Amino acid sequence: MNTVYMDNNATTRVAPEVVEVMLPYYSELYGNPSSMHTFGGQVGRVVEEARGKIASLLGARPDEIIFTSCGTESDSTAILSALQSFPEKRHIVTTRVEHPAVKNLCESLDKLTGHKHRITQLPVNSDGTLDLALYEESLGDETAIVSAMWANNETGVIFPIKEMARIAKSRGILFHTDAVQAVGKIPIDLSQVPIDFLSLSGHKLHAPKGIGVLYVRKGTPFVPFIIGGHQEHGRRGGTENVASIVGLGKACELAARQMHAENTKVKTLRDKLENGLLATIPSSLLNGHKTMRLPNTTNISFEYVEGEAILLHLDRFGICASSGSACTSGSLEPSHVMRAMGVPFTAAHGSIRLSLSVYNTEAEVDFVLEKLPPIIAQLREMSPFWKSEHRGKTGGSQCKCSCS
Amino acid sequence: MWEYTDKVRDHFMNPRNVGEIANADGVGEVGSLACGDALKLFLKVDDNDRIVEAKFQTFGCASAIASSSALTEMITGLPLDEAAKVTNQDIAEYLGGLPKEKMHCSVMGREALEAAIANYRGIPLPMAEGEVVCECFGVTDLEVKRAIEENKLQSVEEITNFTKAGGGCGKCLPRLEEILREARHETKPLILDQRPGRLTTLQKIKRIEELLEREVRPALRKDGGDIELIDVDGDYVIVSLRGACGTCKKSQTTLKEYVEKKLREQVLDTLIVEEGK
């Protein structure tokens, strides 16, 4: 059975070109980049080459790039650094739809630091967008840092990071963005966007898992998170993950080259998939803003059915997708993103995310368009709410879910 | 990804007895759209009180659909009295087991069966009579108690796995713990969490002040020194050293080895003493 991989916001295929450039660093070129000898030194040079390629994709300077182990480490480093740089500031502004890497960290800061922090989690509109006026109001003299994602992993909705960063900058507040979903999918030019910190993760853009980057603007106060050797100029201890760094460099080079395809070919496929599903499946609705969105992501709710059941049926055909339903979120309530957007509970449990990449084909889109509608029809046929006159409510239930 | 047995997968992919029975003798409905799963069970009962047909409609995940399908297979042909004895454990076993987080799906099957039988017999549903404990998922204390007894539940987390109670906002968790204690006939209250982390800020400050007054200051004064409390911020205790201590080279040692140690022993073991500048 062929795998139809449409879960690229979860992780991506490592590009064959990336694997190829990585291999020598697992065999003959095993030197330590910090070594004094030529054997290690040559490895140090490729690490710097990779740093240059990553910087160039972001419109940054090479010395503003710090290698980390993953996006989560980058997020933790940025936020904790800001809090240590300004220990007297005890307020953080973030959003209700952040990835757990930021959301759970912010909610655990009191325990981590021994201080009480005030956390403002900005609400989002029903289309997942932010209210800039509300954002501006939330900033105060005691705000240490703003952390807002560039693009949402579940819906693909893009936040106005440029404007948000400018506002923070004008108030002298540090600004961090989790750009894990945005890098490689939409153009980013940090010479034009005054952010202080940016997190990215290799495996979301066809590099391997286990490599991340934290961009730190030159001049931004910085306190390291992992303390050890002098690697990364003392900003992140630990021997470099050389093979993955080389891989990430190559992946960024490819991303720069494919940025156009991402926004034309991939977007065309996504639109065909999305429009096709919305047109052929009744009671289906798009989650997230129609245009202010990543070109590869679509998140659709199918009312009166449950997401996990849809996923397992898709799995039977080798189709990989994900869902924000309660049964797949690891808790008993739908995803925090769907709840923050106020998606009605008739639809929140039946949300499916399909996220594409340059490796997807039109034939695959057609395959999903052929297989998914009958699955929804079959599950609805089985659902007590589908044809009932009191849709969404059975007798006698006292359920008052907070997701409503 | 959930680890489902082949039997669960089979009942999910090829569910038996899906649909409605037009003039059913008994209908049972549990759950709701908001909760994420719901089951409507239809029974046809003959003159000898035997279930001759059972059908279902389910909104929910794979294990909810499989549990419903399994239930209809298990009860078709059974006398009502026999069917009434089917427990959620029986449903789970019939399917070769369910992941523990999904046990509530089997509980839903059992509750729908009870509701359908009560509907047929024209009697009120006993479980719904209880007091609603979990408002998020509409679970009563009677349902929780029964789940504890029948499944020998040991923790609040297990109660959530089996009944969903406590899986939403979490407000009812203390009440669930109480019910668990009662059900296990543990009348004695749990040992109160005496971790000093539970001190309120005011309590913390008071205890620090008391200790400084009672022990620390008299000791320092003997050597011509003194100490003053400036602030308490979280776990940070900011103090100022006075008198001889102010100029003593060993004052940092005094601060850490004596003052901090005392405070940690007698007030809170996470306190950090620092000198205010």
Is B38's CB within 8 Å of A404's CB? Answer: no
Query: Do residues B7 and B75 both lie within one domain?
Result: yes
Domains and CATH numbers, chain A: 4-8+259-380 (3.90.1150.10), 16-255 (3.40.640.10)
Distance CA A184, CA B253 (A): 54
Nearest by CB to A345, from B34, B138, B233: name it: B34
Q: At residue B190, does pLDDT exceed 50?
A: no
Give the count of Cβ contacts less than 8 A between chain A and B. 130
Query: Do residues B247 and B185 both lie within one domain?
Result: no
Question: Which residue of A lies nearest to B137 if distances are taken between CA atoms?
Answer: A399
More confidently predicted of B69 and B34: B69
Query: Do residues B115 and B229 both lie within one domain?
Result: no
The tokens for B54 are: 């059972």
Query: Do residues B115 and B137 both lie within one domain?
Result: no
Query: Do residues B147 and B117 both lie within one domain?
Result: no
Would you give per-residue pLDDT tens digits along chain A (404 residues)? 899 999 999 999 999 999 999 999 999 999 999 999 999 999 999 999 999 999 999 999 999 999 999 999 999 999 999 999 999 999 999 999 999 999 999 999 888 887 889 999 999 999 999 999 999 999 999 999 999 999 999 999 999 999 999 999 999 999 999 999 999 999 999 999 999 999 999 999 999 999 999 999 999 999 999 999 999 999 999 999 999 999 999 999 999 999 998 889 999 999 999 999 999 999 999 999 999 999 999 999 999 999 999 999 999 999 999 998 877 666 678 889 999 999 988 888 999 999 999 999 999 999 999 999 999 999 999 999 887 644 443 333 334 444 33
The ipTM (two decimal places) reads 0.85
Q: Is B136 a catalytic residue?
A: no
Is B62's CB within 8 Å of A308's CB? Answer: yes
| Domain end residue (candidates: B172, B190, B208) | B190
3-class DSSP assignment, residue A77: helix
Q: How far is A398 from chain B (nearest CA, A)?
A: 5
Q: Catalytic residue positions of A?
A: 327
Note the pLDDT tens digit of each residue in B124-179: 877 777 888 888 888 889 889 989 988 889 898 889 888 888 888 888 988 999 99
Question: Which residue of A lies nearest to B17 if distances are taken between CA atoms?
Answer: A382
Give residue A393's pLDDT: 39
3-class DSSP assignment, residue A284: strand
Number of domains in chain B: 3
The tokens for A393 are: 């409510």
What is the residue range of B165's domain? 130-190
Nearest by CB to A397, from B31, B62, B169: name it: B31
| B277 — pLDDT class (breaks 50, 70, 90) | low
| Domain end residue (candidates: B80, B98, B122) | B122
Q: Count other Cβ atoms within 10 Å, centred on residue B152.
A: 10
Which CATH number is B186's domain given? 1.10.10.1100
> Chain B: which residues have CB within 8 Å of chain A?
2, 9, 12-13, 15, 18, 29-40, 57-62, 64-65, 115, 125, 128, 132, 135-138, 160, 164, 167-169, 233-236, 270, 272
Exposed (0-12), middle (13-18) or buried (19+): which is B211, by Cβ within 10 Å? middle
Q: At residue B191, does pLDDT exceed 90?
A: no
Contact call for residues A341 and A124 (beta carbons, < 8 A): yes
Give residue A328's pLDDT: 66
Whether A223 and chain B come into contact, CB under 8 Å, resolves to: no
Which CATH number is B251's domain given? 3.30.300.130
| Domain end residue (candidates: B122, B138, B168) | B122
Whether A345 and chain B come into contact, CB under 8 Å, resolves to: yes
Distance CA A127, CA A290 (A): 8
Give residue A400's pLDDT: 41
pTM of the model: 0.81
Nearest by CB to B57, from A325, A384, A403: name it: A384
Query: Do residues B150 and B208 both lie within one domain?
Result: no
Give residue B91's pLDDT: 96
Share of chain B above pLDDT 90, in %: 40
